[in-house]
Every structure is written in structure tokens, then in C-alpha cells.
Chain A
Amino acid sequence: MTKGHKELPLTPVSDTPSTINLTGLWRVVRPVVDLSKCKKCTLCWKFCPDAAIELAEGEPHIDLQYCKGCGICSFECPAKCIVMVKEVGR
């Protein structure tokens, strides 16, 4: 329901952080990490545009609540340990 101008604040302000937007729902392909091949270079973590990768002792763990499946991590990984697989029936 659209708010009338009187119900709106002076300037757009949201009282919730942007983390309520679970952008993982946008994903059509999902990164799958083969940790046995990981060299712990952390490039995937550095390149992730959504900060959806967390490192545990240098190894990437992808937060699928926010990962949009853009594939940048897979593209950048020098060890080729991240592959993108199609999301099915989610």
C-alpha cells in the first residue's frame, strides 16, 4: 500500500539494516567449493562483491543466504576449486 506524503518521513530512512534482504534467493547458479584443492589464497573472499564469503583458517565458506551466484569467485580462483552448479527445485 502506497503511503501518502503525510505518512512519510522527511527523507527516506529505513530502520532495518540491508541484511534483511536475503539476496541468496536471486541465485540461479551456486558456487560449490572443493576444499581439498584450495590454496588459501583468499582471492575469492577479496573479490566477492556481496561479502558473502567468510574465511575459516584461510578456507572460504559461502553464506548462501546472501550469495547471488554471480560466479566471480569461481572465475578468479587460481586453483579452480570453485565450480558453479545450477540451482534446482529450491
Chain B
Amino acid sequence: MVMTGNYASAYGAKLSRAEVIAAYPITPQTSIVEKLAEFVSSGELRAKFIPVESEHSAMAACVAAQTAGARTYTATSSHGLTLMHEVLMWASGARLPIVITNVSRAMAPPWSVWVDHMDSIAQRDTGWLQFFCQSDQEVLDTIIMAYKACESRSVMLPAMVIEDAFILSHTSEPVDVPDQELVDSFLPAYAPELKIEVGKAMGFGSLVKPDQYMEFRYKAMQGMEDARERILSVEKEFKHIFGREHGGLLERYRCDDAEVVLVAAGSVASTAKDVVDAMRAKGVRVGLARIRAFRPFPHQELRALGSKVDGLAVLDRSYTFGAAGAMFTEVKASMYSLQRKPAVKNYIAGLGGRDITPRTLEKILEDMLVVSKRGAEDEVEWVDVAGLPRRWR
């Protein structure tokens, strides 16, 4: 079928047999919940659809339903996600494997409905797994895989599947919608060890004194660490059944013998593959490393890559004020323990929906080839900003 990323999200939730969907509409997420509302009203999906009055309530409803043992789903974007922030923390602390789609969109002001990763990046410390997708197909597949990985006994944490605003959410692409029976064989019903049960008095979310708080956080940390292996094993099984894979935590594209590698997340990484091919055809040894999982962060994978290259050009589609791009700071931290460290430079690009063209990506890689030999004037550079020297188009 040819469908948008938003419909791919809706199909992903439907195929995963989400039992409770609570959502509040926001551009550009709206068509996800519209489609799911259709599925529920037509009876194609047996689920309770709760139209709530805010995103905070949407996540609260998911938390409650998941605590009662239901598989839940919601979708949001930008300000909706940040309004959920408090309850996102609750979901992970309560070890509820909720899956949401965040249609990643810039934060206002200035008001913008376009792609930017600030909303998602701002939630990196909430204890959620975060997957940045590059195609509509990956969105659908990742939702199904996220439920399976997150519901593992050793993980039991929620996951955020991130699709770029408009570039994926509203772009129609061929998407293979797998058979329900196959998905059912891959993803069994949700069966948590602990849940609210009628007739059994239990208290959830109770106060824990300083003598036990750290132990619970330690367990959540173990869950996130175990997620690394689970993401890989779940994807391996997915590939066996459905014939597709999306690159684990860090997708490497033509990185062998590369001098310089572009590190990026989301849809821009897809465009970058064309750029890498074109530059390789001219004999320039470049590659792409796509950060698919931002949480858990692929430190090991990046170290293995970093020890073999001269330079890493880290593209961030958001900026952490007072520091640098979040991908960059993580990548750089990963490199610290290496004996032979590559040069690492941060390129801030594509904020608020600014198009990142193949030409811009080529220029970034060309710049990095120079930087890896001579060092960088600035470690963090904003790309294609009016008023700065125009050297990116």
C-alpha cells in the first residue's frame, strides 16, 4: 500500500492490537488518531478509544490502563509531548511498556509546525526508549518491535517511536502492511507480572524512603541496559518472520574504509545515503551512521566505528542551549575512552523544518574531510543561517 507515515503509525498500533488508545489531536499528528478512531469505530480494532482533554491526560490514561494490564498507545507532537513530560517520567518509573509515536516538531516560539528534534531530545532523560525513524515502513515496523522489546520481562520500559513532522508524517510511500496472523505470532498478548486486579487490594506508586529509592532506579537502569540486547534480538526475529530490518541501535551505511562518517538521526539519514553513494562514486571515502536508538544510546557501536575513522560529522536537528547538539555531546563522550580518537564536529541544521538538501549534506561531509586533517575552527557550527557566510548550499 502507499501511505503516509501517520497512517503507518496507525497501522502499527492496530497490528500490535493496542487495547486502549488515549489521544489529543495536534498538528501534524492528527491523522494518526483519526485513522485509529476509524479503526475502532468500524470494529477493525477492538480497543477503547479515549478522547481526552490534553496530552497530560492522554499519557495519564495510558498509564492507568497499562497499570490495569492493557496494551496502550498514544501519539503526539512537540508541545503535546512536552506537556506529557511529568507523566512520561511516571510511565518509565512504574515500568509500563507504553508505546507512543511522537511526530517530531519544533518547539515554539517562534511558532512552527515543521520538523525539528527538540521535542524528542528534551525527553531523553525520562527513561523511555527512543527510536528515530527514516521511512514510513520503519515507523510501522518499529511500533510492533517496540512493544515486543519493551514488554520483555528484563526491560519493561516505555518506548517513543519518532517520525519527522511532514517529511514522514505526511509523505506517502510504499509500505508493506504485514498480515495480522504473522504479527500475532510475533507479538503475543501483553501479560505483565503485576497489574491492578479486581478484588485484590494493592497500592501502586507508593512512597519509597531513601533507603530503597536508589534500588528502584538501579532496576530501571538495568532494564534500559538490557534493552540493548533485546532490541537486537527482537529485530533479528522480526527479520526472520517479515524479511526486513532497520539497523538495530546504530545503522551503518558504507562505513567500511570510510575516512569520514556522517552521524545523523531521522529522515535526513535517508537522504544522506544518496549523498554517500554519489560521493563514493567520485572516490571520496565517506559513510553514514544513523542513530536509530537514541535511548539506549549506541556507545559501543559508535566506539567501534570511531576507532576506525578520521572524523565524525554529527548532525543535530535540535540545539541544547548552553551546550551543543545532544547527539554531538553523546557521540563525543563515547569517543573519550578511545586511544585513537577521531575528530568530532557538530553541525546544527534543519531546525524548524529548514530543508536539508543533498547539497548541504555533501558540503558538511566535505567540511569534515578538511576538519579531520586540520582541525576545526569551531567545534559547533550552525549550518545555513542567514547572515552567516553562505557556504552550505
Contact = CB atoms under 8 A, between A and B. Distances in A.
A37 interface: no
A13 interface: yes
Interface string A1-33: 011110011111111111000000000000000
B219 interface: yes
Main secondary structure of the interface of B (DSSP, over half): loop
A4 B202 contact: no
Interface string B191-223: 001100000111111111001100110110001
A3 B219 CA distance: 13
Contact of B212 (A8, A15, A16, A17): A8
Contact of B95 (A10, A15, A17): A10
A5 B202 CA distance: 20
Interface residues of B, number: 22
B156 interface: yes
Contacts of A13: 194, 202-204, 206
Given A17-B201, A17-B203, A12 B194 contact: no
Contacts of B194: 9-11, 13
Nearest to B94: A11
Contacts of A18: 203
Nearest to A17: B201
Interface of A: 2-5, 8-18
B287 to A, nearest CB: 40
A20 B208 CA distance: 17
Nearest to A7: B215
B202 A11 contact: no
A61 B317 CA distance: 64
Contact of B219 (A2, A8, A14, A15): A8
Nearest to B204: A13
A8 B215 contact: yes
B248 interface: no
Contacts of B206: 12-14
